[in-house]
């Protein structure tokens, strides 16, 4: 059984042995429209997600003038200026306050990724369920420091990073008293992520090295990938959600629709249930088959009282419920106390397992 530490996030305990925590990454798929953001929260709840997550930034503060967009963004929306693209996707803190009230009302945890210290402090005042630190900011010391000092739970993505950089970020968080309230997400910053690039074994690598809850920020296009990630040890899943994959925006094309997101969540829940707790025992589902398909020790002939049992006098036959075949050697050191007919399941009441008693010359076969 995995005994790695867990963290508390809102109403949930996150870590090994607990149900996988699924985050619907609404991100900027609201396209700057608060009405779409509200609909994304509702869709996340209906699909079975535990949390919905947005992104809070100021385009002017986040990127320099004329900063280029990534190739996948150029392909999806045709934009080449990153600041111009992000300006259309901003929401003010007042809107996030309204969105949080709605998420709280319908029972969905409300997470936000801040892209600056000032945004982080506003979100802490808002009382978000957790702060999600995006992969590019794993090396952002001021932002990590503010997150650690905030007292809020932290989920940190590790995309496009090397182990030395993750070491440094974890060391910073632990050095600023955040050791018991952060989790890591293995992430591949490729949109979409090809299955061959997913490197799911990194989930176990991070968990073993840092002894914290580890999840997967999933940018693959396959709704069934949650099953693989949970099987690889992920205790958190983050996946983009959109209301329309054909909508104009940088992230819609690799996001899941509500219907596919529900399948994604269902596969994750099924995988968690299928993994079990790792304890080797006969489960309730197996008991009938165990009783009927396993054998018991049965006499092959008529055995008179006082006869010492030999291997030709007994065999193993179905069903179970009598003397377990594991007791075979003890049976062959036993003496019949009573008259035992052929094809009789043996019980210990029929036998004396002490070997110092007088033994008759032979068994009599009917």
Q: How would you write the pLDDT of the chain (366 residues) with one tens digit per residue?
A: 677 789 999 889 999 999 999 999 999 999 999 999 999 999 999 999 999 999 999 888 888 777 776 776 666 666 667 788 888 999 999 999 999 999 999 999 999 999 999 999 999 999 999 999 999 999 999 999 999 999 999 999 999 999 999 999 999 999 999 999 999 999 999 999 999 999 999 999 999 999 999 999 999 998 889 999 999 999 999 999 999 999 988 899 999 999 999 999 999 999 999 999 889 999 999 999 999 999 999 999 999 999 999 999 999 999 999 999 999 999 999 999 999 999 999 999 999 986 544 444 344 444
7 in any annotated domain? no
Q: Which of 220, 242, 275 delimits the end of a domain?
A: 275
Residues 238 and 305 in one domain: no
Residues 85 and 161 in one domain: yes
Residues 268 and 291 in one domain: no
Q: Which of 241, 275, 309 delimits the end of a domain?
A: 275
154, β-bridge pairs: 131, 182
Residues 143 and 205 in one domain: yes
Give the CA angle between residues 278, 279, 281 to the nearest 5°.
135
Model pLDDT, residue 127 = 98
Residues 293 and 235 in one domain: no
Model pLDDT, residue 74 = 64
Model pLDDT, residue 336 = 98
Residues 238 and 333 in one domain: no
Residues 271 and 301 in one domain: no
249 in any annotated domain? yes
Residues 74 and 185 in one domain: yes
CATH code at position 17: 3.20.20.70
Residues 250 and 301 in one domain: no
| HSE value, Cβ hemisphere, 13 Å, CA-based, for 356 | 0
Count: domains in the chain = 2
CATH code at position 335: 3.90.1210.10
359 in any annotated domain? no
62 in any annotated domain? yes
357 in any annotated domain? no
Identify the domain containing residue 16 by its residue range: 12-275
Q: Which of 217, 240, 275 delimits the end of a domain?
A: 275
Residues 249 and 321 in one domain: no
212 Cα distance to chain centroid: 13
Residues 255 and 188 in one domain: yes
Q: What CA–CA distances, in Å, run from 141 to 107, 170, 173, 248? A: 33, 11, 10, 33
366 in any annotated domain? no
143 in any annotated domain? yes
Model pLDDT, residue 303 = 98
């Amino acid at each position: 059984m995995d005994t790695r530490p867990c963290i508390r996030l809102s109403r949930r305990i996150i870590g090994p042995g607990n149900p996988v925590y699924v985050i619907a990454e609404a991100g900027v798929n609201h396209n700057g429209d608060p009405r779409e953001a509200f609909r994304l929260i509702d869709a996340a709840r209906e699909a079975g997600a535990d949390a919905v997550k947005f992104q809070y930034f100021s385009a002017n503060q986040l990127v320099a003038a004329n900063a280029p967009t990534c190739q996948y963004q150029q392909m999806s929306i045709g934009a080449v200026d990153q600041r111009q693209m992000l300006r259309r996707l901003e929401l003010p803190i007042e809107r996030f306050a309204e969105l949080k009230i709605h998420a709280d009302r319908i029972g969905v945890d409300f997470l936000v990724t801040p892209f600056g210290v000032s945004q982080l402090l506003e979100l802490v005042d808002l009382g978000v369920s957790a702060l999600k630190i995006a992969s590019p900011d794993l090396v952002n010391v001021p932002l990590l420091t503010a997150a650690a000092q905030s007292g809020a739970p932290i989920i940190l993505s590790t995309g496009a990073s090397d182990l030395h950089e993750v070491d440094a970020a974890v060391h910073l968080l632990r050095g600023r008293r955040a050791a018991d309230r952060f989790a890591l997400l293995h992430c591949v910053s490729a949109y979409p992520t090809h299955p061959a690039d997913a490197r799911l074994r990194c989930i176990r690598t991070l968990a073993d090295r840092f002894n914290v809850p580890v999840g997967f920020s999933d940018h693959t296009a396959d709704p069934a990938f949650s099953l693989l990630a949970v099987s690889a040890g992920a205790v958190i899943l983050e996946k983009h959600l959109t209301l329309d994959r054909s909508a104009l925006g940088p992230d819609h094309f690799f996001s899941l629709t509500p219907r596919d997101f529900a399948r994604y969540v269902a596969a994750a829940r099924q995988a968690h249930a299928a993994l079990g707790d790792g304890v080797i025992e006969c489960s309730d589902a197996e008991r009938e088959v165990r009783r009927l398909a396993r054998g018991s020790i049965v006499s092959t002939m008529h055995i008179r009282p006082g006869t010492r049992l030999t291997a030709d006098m007994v065999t193993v036959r179905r069903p179970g419920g009598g003397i377990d075949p594991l007791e075979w050697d003890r049976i062959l050191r036993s003496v019949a106390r009573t008259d035992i007919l052929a094809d009789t399941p043996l019980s210990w009441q029929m036998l004396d397992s002490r070997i110092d008693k007088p033994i008759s010359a032979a068994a009599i076969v009917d």
